[in-house]
Amino acid sequence: MKIVRNEKRGGMTIKVGVLMGGWSPEKKVSLMSGKNVVEGLKLAGLKAVPFELTGADKNEKKFEKRLKKAKFDAVFIALHGGFGEDGTLQALLDQWGIPYTGSGALACGLAMHKGCSKLVFEAKGIPSAPWHALHKTTDSKNWLKEIKLALPLVVKPADVGSAIGVTIVKKKTELTKAIRLAFKHSDWAIIEKFIPGVEVTVTVLGETALPVIEIVPKNEFYDFDAKYTPGHSDHIIPARISSSQTKSVKDLALKAGQAMGCEDYYRVDFIVPRKGQPQILEINTVPGMTLTSLVPDAAKAAGISFPALLKTLVGMALRSKKGKKA
Q: Which pLDDT does position 131 carry in this prediction? A: 95
194 or 219: which leads in pLDDT: 194
Q: Which pLDDT does position 1 carry in this prediction? A: 47
Complete domains list, the chain, with CATH = 8-102+305-319 (3.40.50.20), 110-128+195-301 (3.30.470.20), 131-193 (3.30.1490.20)
Selected catalytic residue, list 17, 21, 26, 87 = 26
Q: What is the mean pLDDT of the chain?
A: 90
Annotated catalytic residue 102 = no
Selected catalytic residue, list 269, 315, 320, 323 = 269
Annotated catalytic residue 267 = yes
Q: Which pLDDT does position 12 carry in this prediction? A: 54
Q: Is the pLDDT of residue 275 over 90?
A: no
Annotated catalytic residue 146 = no
How many other C-beta atoms lie within 10 A of the C-beta of residue 294?
Answer: 26
Q: What confidence category does residue 321 fall into, taking pLDDT thresholds of 50, 70 and 90?
A: confident
Selected catalytic residue, list 288, 293, 297, 323 = 288
Annotated catalytic residue 274 = no
Percentage of the chain with pLDDT > 70?
91
Question: pLDDT, tens digit, for every residue of 114-168?
Answer: 999 999 999 999 999 999 999 999 888 888 889 999 999 999 998 887 678 888 9
How many other C-beta atoms lie within 10 A of the C-beta of residue 61?
Answer: 7
Q: Is the pLDDT of residue 220 over 70?
A: no
Tell which residue, 248, 238, 236, 257, has the closest CA to residue 279.
248
Question: Is the model's pTM score more than 0.85?
Answer: yes
Amino acid at 27: K
Annotated catalytic residue 288 = yes
Annotated catalytic residue 162 = yes
CA distance 246 to 121: 19
Asked if 164 and 138 count as a contact pair (C-beta separation under 8 A), the reply is: no
Q: Which pLDDT does position 9 carry in this prediction? A: 52
Annotated catalytic residue 142 = no
Question: pLDDT, tens digit, for every residue of 22-79?
Answer: 988 889 989 999 999 999 999 999 999 999 999 999 999 999 999 999 999 999 999 9
From residue 53, how far is each of 40, 50, 71, 214 by CA, in Å? 20, 10, 16, 33
For range 266-295, the mean pLDDT: 93
For range 164-181, the mean pLDDT: 90
Selected catalytic residue, list 86, 263, 282, 297 = 282
